[in-house]
Amino acid sequence: MIDPGRLKTRLVIEAPIEADDGQGGVARSYSAVATVWAAVLPARMTRAVEADADGALVHLRIVLRGGFALTLRHRFIDGAKIYRITALREIDERRFVEIDAEWRID
């Protein structure tokens, strides 16, 4: 059972908005859809190279109350940090959602 008192980090949930870019592709932006309380727990860190740039990926476990229609295309904002959802599952009789996420540090 999850202790609701551990949900002490304020996160903004953003959903993608895609528009035609006029060249056969899409231009993606994000729009805030909700602000929630969550528990953000670091799981591990790995080295990552993206576009020839060294960095690190911090893998996180995020727990929040259920009731949101989240997908892998949503993301979380925590101040200047952007958390990308990599997996999600319902726990504790569907009252909470446990999310695996990544935060890239350049």
In the chain, % of residues over pLDDT 70: 91
How many distinct helices (H) and strands (E) make up the chain?
0, 6
pTM of the entire structure? 0.82
Please tell me the predicted confidence (pLDDT) of residue 56: 83
Please tell me the predicted confidence (pLDDT) of residue 53: 66
For the chain, the helix, strand and coil percentages under 3-state DSSP, each to the nearest 5: 5, 70, 25
Rg (CA), the chain: 15
Sites in the chain below the pLDDT cut of 70: 1-2, 4, 48-53
